[in-house]
Amino acid sequence: MNSQPHPQPLRMYREGAVQVLSIDNPDARNALSPELYLALLDALQNAANDDGIGAIVLTGEGGHFCAGGDLRRLATRHTLTALERRTIIEQLNTVVRALRSCPKPVVAAIEGAVAGAGMSVAFACDVLVGAQDSRYSVAYVKVGLTPDGGITSFLAESLSRPILSELCLTGTPVTGERMYQLGAINHCVEPGKALEHAIQLATKLADGPAKAMACIKQLCTTAKRNTFDEQIQLESQFMIEAQAGSEAREGIASFLEKRKANYRSK
């Protein structure tokens, strides 16, 4: 008897210069898995190396973004050594770091539930587009666990300590509309419209100067971590390099000539 092929954990397709990556395990609300981690890392690396791709959209199939870790897998973790548990957690951390360090802008399109480690994956993206009724939950406390994947660091960038503490200590879901009011997500759209809006936004980003945007991503990531002197030095370094590049020549020329810049051919 021939065994059925294992379904791919990630659906991938192009929308012009935008690479869409969609977590594809809707029966489990797109729960994370080692197979998905590997697929995401491979897709991000390929997108980073493809000059035809200007931006990335990350979303989920079946009306949900990502429900986080698979509790059936987590239920067996107590049988592992601390080193084995750390190795597994580092798989998530590697994906989160890859999203943050990817030179291309990454836009999250969020419908339905995003919980636990799914929050880490979503907030590792550069721009978040969420449906009004999407639900965000730092749900670890509900099963006796603690947050991981950098989510407390990500949320602390936009939320006050009391609000962050309440989210993490209660695990209570918060709607996309509320997260937008708190300044934690960039865009709040009608239910069912997150992916469409995210692709439109990513298409605009894909037309931008790729090298400059990669540097901007790095500056935005380090802004709160670096000292002022470290950050201003990094800004100076990037500006010195940018002034000598073809993107600046094209951008400045297009502004002076009152035309749209064409960075894709540079």
Are residues 82 and 214 part of one domain? Answer: no
pLDDT digits (tens, 9 = 90+) for 4-44: 444 789 999 999 999 999 999 999 999 999 999 999 999 99
Read off the pTM: 0.93
Q: Which residues of 55-79 are buried (b: 16+ CB within 10 A; e: fewer)?
A: bbbbbbbbebbbbbbeeeeeeeeee
pLDDT above 90 for 2: no
pLDDT above 80 for 162: yes
The mean pLDDT value for 117-138 works out to: 98
Question: Is the CB of residue 35 less than 8 Å from the CB of residue 77?
Answer: no
- Domain membership flag for residue 122: yes
pLDDT above 80 for 57: yes
pLDDT of residue 7: 72
pLDDT of residue 70: 83
- Domain membership flag for residue 266: no
pLDDT of residue 71: 83
- Tell how far CA 124 is from the center of its chain: 4
pLDDT digits (tens, 9 = 90+) for 89-107: 999 999 999 999 999 999 9
Burial of 245 (0-12, 13-18, 19+ CB in 10 A): middle
pLDDT of residue 77: 87
The mean predicted confidence, pLDDT, of the chain is 94
Question: Is the CB of residue 104 less than 8 Å from the CB of residue 125?
Answer: no
- Domain membership flag for residue 223: yes
Are residues 94 and 150 part of one domain? Answer: yes
pLDDT of residue 208: 96
pLDDT of residue 265: 66
Are residues 193 and 98 part of one domain? Answer: yes
Are residues 29 and 61 part of one domain? Answer: yes
Are residues 188 and 117 part of one domain? Answer: yes
- Domain membership flag for residue 132: yes
Amino acid identity of residue 12, one-letter, is M
Q: What is the CATH number of the domain that holds 224?
A: 1.10.12
Give percent above pLDDT 90 in the chain. 91
- Domain membership flag for residue 124: yes
Are residues 83 and 41 part of one domain? Answer: yes
Q: What is the CATH number of the domain that holds 164?
A: 3.90.226.10
Q: Which two tokens stand for residue 129?
A: 């587009």
pLDDT of residue 1: 36
Number of domains in the chain: 2
Residues contacting residue 237 through CB under 8 Å, at least 6 positions apart: none
Are residues 122 and 247 part of one domain? Answer: no
The mean pLDDT value for 63-85 works out to: 90
Q: Last residue of some domain: 175, 191, 206?
A: 206
pLDDT digits (tens, 9 = 90+) for 196-210: 999 999 999 999 999
Residue 243: give the domain boundaries.
210-256
Are residues 160 and 135 part of one domain? Answer: yes
pLDDT above 60 for 61: yes
Question: Is the CB of residue 176 less than 8 Å from the CB of residue 132?
Answer: yes
Question: Is the CB of residue 41 less than 8 Å from the CB of residue 68?
Answer: no
Are residues 220 and 195 part of one domain? Answer: no
Angstrom distances, CA of residue 202 to CA of 65, 105, 128: 18, 8, 11
Are residues 97 and 215 part of one domain? Answer: no
Question: Is the CB of residue 10 less than 8 Å from the CB of residue 24?
Answer: yes
Are residues 100 and 45 part of one domain? Answer: yes
- Domain membership flag for residue 5: no
pLDDT digits (tens, 9 = 90+) for 242-253: 999 999 999 999
Residues contacting residue 67 through CB under 8 Å, at least 6 positions apart: 28, 29, 30, 31, 113, 114, 115, 116, 118
- Domain membership flag for residue 101: yes
- Domain membership flag for residue 160: yes
Are residues 161 and 242 part of one domain? Answer: no
